[in-house]
Amino acid sequence: MSLAYYELKQGERLGPCLDDLLALSEMHGYDFLFTRRTLHGPPDPRRLVPLLIEARDRRCRPAYAAHLLVDMGLPEIETHPGYRLRVQTLGAFRVWRGRDEVESREWQRDKARQLFQLLLTQKGHWLQRDEMVERLWPALSPEAAARDFKVALNALNRAIEPGHAADAPFAFVVREGSAYRLRPEAEVWIDAAAFEQACEAGLRATQAGWSDDGVRRLQDALQLYHGDYLPEVLYEDWASAERERLLSLYLRAADRLAGALIERGRFDEGLALCQAILARDACWERAYRLMMTAYARQGNRSQVFRVYQRCVTSLRGELGVDPSPATLSLYEQLTRSGDAPVTGL
């Protein structure tokens, strides 16, 4: 009933009903009705977040409402549309409002989608309107570019907040003067950020050795990397630095995991990961060394030779250099003895 009164904007009825709801929930320990999915609540518990913000702002059991928001990871939230925004940037660009994916037609124009991608790339930083105009509409006159920016921004807000009330602040994009950014407290899950956090945790966990926890963390991280960052804007300068940074992080994490797998005798998995590394960077020498080690431990010296020749061809063809002394030394050792430790490769 509280949710219905809220969505129907029947404020006089909402107050007493919301007070009863929170009082009963607090009295009987029904926090879970708000914090996780249950048979008694909406399919997406985030739909109830606006009620808690309303209660806090109305001073209707504010301490309990604030407590629930903290439990939901939203202590500083100021406005909320009733769903979490989920964004995929790796391999393909897709956006979900809760469980509903934003369809291509909802963006109305490509520049609206690119404007959102630019704000995502610079998440945590204010961007001046003139700076965004220069990046997205460099060929237009200042007047035409300003007009197109306004149209694109309106289309962007409609795509990610289609039910936004005209008199309410936007939940995701905030403005201060002529500067814009994504609200830092907004509930937005971005795969690139989750990938980065998971990679860093996995790399830390495996820094001192190949722990089971570290291996699992790296595997979970790499499952998030479906491809290059924002491939549909491959030639835009504003996305290239982030794309290269995330690719470098992927290569480091994949390298570390491949070494752990080969050290544990899981050769097929380690070799497959090395192939994935080389598909993205054919000059990543450690991948060749790991592959040579894996094949040598399987007793397959002919494959050791083939991998080394592939390494030579790639390095000479793309960089005009020969393999490093470490790679040459390992190759000579493996073709002589048939085995070598992974540690220190």
Domain residue spans of the chain: 2-71, 85-186, 223-337
pTM: 0.88
Asked whether the predicted pLDDT for residue 336 surpasses 90, the reply is no
Can you tell me the mean pLDDT for 229-243? 94
**End-to-end CA distance of the chain, in Å?**
64
Q: What CA–CA distance (Å, rounded) separates 218 from 115?
A: 32
Distance CA 257, CA 212 (A): 11
C-beta separation of 230 from 117 below 8 A: yes
Which DSSP helix (H) or strand (E) runs through 244?
helix 237-263
Architecture of domain 223-337: Alpha Horseshoe (1.25)
Asked if pLDDT for residue 214 goes beyond 90, the answer is: no
pLDDT tens-place string over residues 40-62: 888 899 999 999 999 999 999 99
Count CB atoms within 10 A of the CB of residue 54: 18
Looking at the domain covering 85-186, what would its CATH class be? mainly alpha
Neighbours of 164 (CB within 10 A): 16
pLDDT at 337: 59
Q: Name the strands in the sheet holding 100-101, side by side, starting at the edge strand that comes first in the sequence.
A: 100-101, 94-97, 85-88, 188-190
DSSP 276-312: HHHHH-TT-HHHHHHHHHHHHHTT-HHHHHHHHHHHH
Residue 343 in this model has a pLDDT that exceeds 70 = no
pLDDT digits (tens, 9 = 90+) for 14-44: 999 999 999 999 999 999 999 998 888 888 9
- Whether residue 158 has pLDDT greater than 80: yes
Give, in order, the Cα–Cα distances in Å from 53 to each of 31, 59, 238, 257, 289: 15, 10, 36, 43, 56
**pLDDT score at 192:** 97
Q: Which residue has the tokens 């879970």?
A: 32
3-state DSSP helix/strand/coil percent for the chain, to nearest 5? Answer: 60, 5, 30
Contact predicate 5/13, CB 8 Å = yes
- Mean pLDDT (the chain, rounded): 93
Res. 344 pLDDT band, cuts 50 70 90: very low
